[in-house]
Amino acid sequence: MVPSRRSWNLGATPSLRGLWRVARARARERELGMARPAPAPASPAARPFPHTGLGRLRTGRGRDTLVGRDEDSSARVAARPGLAQCRARSVEWADSGSPRKLYLTVQGGTDLEKHRDLLMVENERLRQELQCCEAELQALRAQPAATPCQGCEHVQESTQLRDKVSQLQMEVLENKGMLSELNLEVQQKTDRLAEVELRLKDCLAEKAQEEERLSRRLRNSHETIASLQAQSPPVKYVIKTVEVDSSKTKQALNESQARNQHLQEQVAMQRQVLKEMEQQLESSNQLTTQLRSQISMYETELERAHGKMLEEMQSMEEDKNRAIEEAFARAQVEMKAVHENLAGVRTNLLTLQPALRTLTNDYNGLKRQVRSFPLLLQEALQSVKAEIGQAIEEVNTNNQELLRKYRRELQLRKKCHNELVRLKGNIRVIARVRPITKEDGEGPKAASVVTFDPDDDAVIHLLHKGKPVSFELDKVFSPGASQQDVFQEVQALITSCIDGFNVCIFAYGQTGAGKTYTMEGTRENPGINQRALQLLFSEVQEKAADWEYTITVSVTEIYNEVLRDLLGTEPQEKLEIRLCPDGSGQLYVPGLTEFQVQSVEDINKVFEFGHNNRTTEFTNMNEHSSRSHALLIVTVRGRDCSTGLCTIGKLNLVDLAGSERVGKSGAEGSRLREAQHINKSLSALGDVIAALRSRQGHVPFRNSKLTYLLQDSLNGDSKTLMVVQVSPVEKNSSETLCSLRFAERVRSVELGPGARHTELRSWSSQEHLELEPACQTPQPSARAHSAPASGTSSRPGSIRRKLQSSGKLKPVPV
Binding-site annotation: residue ranges: 509-516
Q: Are 558 and 706 in contact (CB under 8 A)?
A: yes
Q: How far is the CB of 435 from ligand ATP (least distance, A)?
A: 5
Nearer to ligand ATP, 427 or 675 (CB): 675
Task: Find the binding residues for ligand ATP in span 707-726 (CB under 6 A).
Answer: 725
Helix (H) or strand (E) holding 294: helix 234-424
Nearer to ligand ATP, 437 or 451 (CB): 437
Strands 475-477 and 428-433: parallel
Which stretch, 371-379, 443-451, 623-631, 731-739, contacts ligand ATP (CB under 6 A)?
623-631
Q: For residue 782, what are the contacts with CB-CB under 8 A and spacing of at least 6?
A: 806
Nearer to ligand ATP, 92 or 485 (CB): 485
SS (H, E, C) 486-525: HHHHHHHHHHHHHCCEEEEEEEEEECCCCHHHHHCECCCC
If one asks whether residue 677 binds ligand ATP (CB under 6 A), the answer comes out as: no
Alpha carbons 223 and 216: distance in angstroms, whole number: 10
Helix (H) or strand (E) holding 297: helix 234-424
* DSSP one-letter code for 40: P
**Near ligand ATP by CB under 6 A: residue from 68, 144, 514, 728:** 514
DSSP secondary structure, 237-267, as one string: HHHHHHHHHHHHHHHHHHHHHHHHHHHHHHH
Which stretch, 128-136, 222-230, 514-522, 745-753, contacts ligand ATP (CB under 6 A)?
514-522
Length of the chain: 814
| Helix pair angle (111-146, 234-424), 10° resolution | 20
Nearer to ligand ATP, 621 or 803 (CB): 621
If one asks whether residue 150 binds ligand ATP (CB under 6 A), the answer comes out as: no
Which stretch, 26-34, 204-212, 419-427, 511-519, contacts ligand ATP (CB under 6 A)?
511-519
Local structure of 394: helix, strand or coil: helix
**Binding marks (x or -) toward ligand ATP, 362..391, rule CB under 6 A?**
------------------------------
If one asks whether residue 622 binds ligand ATP (CB under 6 A), the answer comes out as: yes
Q: How far is the CB of 678 from ligand ATP (least distance, A)?
A: 9
Local structure of 794: helix, strand or coil: coil
Which stretch, 309-317, 324-332, 489-497, 505-513, contacts ligand ATP (CB under 6 A)?
505-513
Nearer to ligand ATP, 517 or 607 (CB): 517
Nearer to ligand ATP, 511 or 550 (CB): 511
Which stretch, 27-35, 73-81, 200-208, 515-523, contacts ligand ATP (CB under 6 A)?
515-523
Q: Which of 754, 761, 484 is nearest to 644 (CA)?
A: 761
If one asks whether residue 434 binds ligand ATP (CB under 6 A), the answer comes out as: yes
Q: How far is the CB of 449 from ligand ATP (least distance, A)?
A: 17
Distances (CA, A) of 653 to 194, 507, 633, 750: 143, 8, 6, 20
If one asks whether residue 615 binds ligand ATP (CB under 6 A), the answer comes out as: no
If one asks whether residue 727 binds ligand ATP (CB under 6 A), the answer comes out as: no
Q: How far is the CB of 733 from ligand ATP (least distance, A)?
A: 16
**Near ligand ATP by CB under 6 A: residue from 143, 294, 315, 437:** 437
Helices marked H in 614-732 — which ranges? Answer: 662-665, 670-693, 705-709, 711-714
Q: How far is the CB of 432 from ligand ATP (least distance, A)?
A: 7
Alpha carbons 421 and 419: distance in angstroms, whole number: 5
If one asks whether residue 681 binds ligand ATP (CB under 6 A), the answer comes out as: no
Shortest Cβ contact with ligand ATP: which residue?
Answer: 658
If one asks whether residue 626 binds ligand ATP (CB under 6 A), the answer comes out as: yes
| Helix pair angle (111-146, 81-95), 10° resolution | 60
Nearer to ligand ATP, 211 or 623 (CB): 623
Alpha carbons 7 and 20: distance in angstroms, whole number: 19
Nearer to ligand ATP, 713 or 739 (CB): 739
Q: Residue 732 burial by CB count (10 A; 0-12/13-18/19+): exposed, middle or buried?
A: buried
- Give the residues across from 223 on adjacent strands: none
Nearer to ligand ATP, 622 or 652 (CB): 622
Phi, psi of 163 (to 5 degrees): -60, -45
Nearer to ligand ATP, 665 or 790 (CB): 665
- Give the residues across from 759 on adjacent strands: 646
If one asks whether residue 509 binds ligand ATP (CB under 6 A), the answer comes out as: yes
Phi, psi of 506 (to 5 degrees): -130, 145
Phi, psi of 4 (to 5 degrees): -90, 145
Q: How far is the CB of 633 from ligand ATP (least distance, A)?
A: 19
Count of residues that bind ligand ATP according to CB under 6 A: 18
Nearer to ligand ATP, 63 or 664 (CB): 664
Q: How far is the CB of 622 from ligand ATP (least distance, A)?
A: 4
Q: For residue 622, what are the contacts with CB-CB under 8 A and spacing of at least 6?
A: 439, 511, 512, 658
Alpha carbons 391 and 383: distance in angstroms, whole number: 12
If one asks whether residue 625 binds ligand ATP (CB under 6 A), the answer comes out as: yes
Q: How far is the CB of 624 from ligand ATP (least distance, A)?
A: 6
Q: How far is the CB of 559 from ligand ATP (least distance, A)?
A: 13
Q: How far is the CB of 481 from ligand ATP (least distance, A)?
A: 7
Binding-site annotation: residue ranges for ATP: 509-516
**Binding marks (x or -) toward ligand ATP, 644..673, rule CB under 6 A?**
-------------xx---------------
Q: How far is the CB of 638 from ligand ATP (least distance, A)?
A: 32
Q: How far is the CB of 467 from ligand ATP (least distance, A)?
A: 25
Nearer to ligand ATP, 9 or 511 (CB): 511
Which stretch, 251-259, 433-441, 568-576, 715-723, contacts ligand ATP (CB under 6 A)?
433-441
Nearer to ligand ATP, 101 or 515 (CB): 515
Assign residue 156 a region (left: φ > 0; alpha: ψ between -120 and 50; beta: otherwise). alpha
Alpha carbons 471 and 737: distance in angstroms, whole number: 10
If one asks whether residue 511 binds ligand ATP (CB under 6 A), the answer comes out as: yes
Q: How far is the CB of 636 from ligand ATP (least distance, A)?
A: 26
Nearer to ligand ATP, 509 or 716 (CB): 509
Which stretch, 283-291, 298-306, 374-382, 507-515, contacts ligand ATP (CB under 6 A)?
507-515
How many DSSP H helices and E strands does the chain contain? 17, 20
Helices marked H in 30-110 — which ranges? Answer: 74-78, 81-95
SS (H, E, C) 171-202: HHHHHHHHHHHHHHHHHHHHHHHHHHHHHHHH
Nearer to ligand ATP, 156 or 488 (CB): 488
If one asks whether residue 512 binds ligand ATP (CB under 6 A), the answer comes out as: yes
**Near ligand ATP by CB under 6 A: residue from 26, 87, 306, 515:** 515
Alpha carbons 617 and 631: distance in angstroms, whole number: 18
If one asks whether residue 435 binds ligand ATP (CB under 6 A), the answer comes out as: yes
* DSSP one-letter code for 100: S
Alpha carbons 591 and 575: distance in angstroms, whole number: 7
Which stretch, 16-24, 104-112, 621-629, 704-712, contacts ligand ATP (CB under 6 A)?
621-629
Binding site for ligand ATP (CB under 6 A): 434-435, 437, 509, 511-517, 622, 624-626, 657-658, 725
